[in-house]
Amino acid sequence: MPRKIVIHAGFHKTGTSSVQALLRANRKALMPALAIRLKGQMQELMHATRGYSTFGSEDALDKVSRRFDALLADLPGMPRRTLLLSAEELSGHMPGRGVLADYRAAPVLMYLYWQRARAAFPETPVVFCFGTRAGADWERSAWAEHVKSSGMTLDFTDFATQYPAAQDLDSIVSEVRRRVPAPVHSFALEDCTKLPLGPADPVLDLCDIPTELRAGLTAEPAQNTRLDAETLAALLDINRTHRDTDARNAAKAALLHKGSQI
């Protein structure tokens, strides 16, 4: 049974990749105090959360429940360690995919996690954590991520027009607080620039890491930062001109590889 469960559930483009890179790099050092599960270790659950955010059905939510239960059941004994789950897709897909206009699935999912964690470990406190970001900056970064990682063909202006509510992360956090009877913390990415460990610091603040252990952690550079405007324009053109998914992905990979060699 974990002594505490901390669920860092996003959002996308709020420093989550940087948090996870630091946790990955310092996993061994953190092991005496912290058990870490990142999205690579929760693939079945992530598949289910993405499905629920897309379809919103009871069957899809039941699949999330069963897979979250399985994740908890597979844990080793850890009475003196905190369990930290960190994955932006614990909140579902990033808005901007077809009809998916916002993070409205997140409050439902957080309540489910709280409910199932309490059923599995009635004496273990559960805490939630979200990164947020200024709306306009989040919106542009979300669009850029879609252009890079999906077949997005909308330019930024059309994306912002089609998904106006996507950027309102604070309202989603407020709805999580209203729905879930557990502590819900949030931090703004802009407030993390001068912290020693960047956006990982407010997450680790919740994990009860001993001071001497925390002091020995190694910082990591920012991850998955936004591409420059020229590269994004080229990727958008590839999305618009390559209908075949494999051909599109190959063209984008070649472009990005070429850019990394310059």
Question: Which residues, in sequence order, are CB contacts of 190 under 8 Å at separation 6+?
Answer: 133, 134
- What span, in angstroms and rounded, lies between the C-alpha atoms of 234 and 255? 8
pLDDT at 174: 98
Confidence at 204, pLDDT banded by 50, 70, 90: very high
How many helices (H) and strands (E) the chain has is answered by 12, 5
**Strand segments (E) across the chain:** 4-8, 34-38, 82-86, 126-132, 184-188
Cis preceding-peptide flag for 121 (omega within 30 of 0) = no
Average pLDDT score over the chain: 96
Q: Which CATH class is domain 4-135+166-220?
A: alpha beta
pLDDT at 32: 95
pLDDT at 260: 62
Check: CB of residue 79 under 8 Å from CB of residue 3. yes
pLDDT at 259: 61
Residue 220 pLDDT > 60 = yes
CA distances from 91 to 30, 49, 88, 191 (A): 25, 7, 6, 22
Residue 262 pLDDT > 60 = no
pLDDT at 261: 53
Model pLDDT for residues 139-196, shown as the tens digit of each residue: 999 999 999 999 999 999 999 999 999 999 999 999 999 999 999 999 999 999 999 9
Model pLDDT for residues 77-116, shown as the tens digit of each residue: 888 899 999 999 999 999 998 899 999 999 999 999 999 9
Sketch the domain layout of the chain as residue ranges.
4-135+166-220
Residue 64 pLDDT > 60 = yes
pLDDT at 55: 96
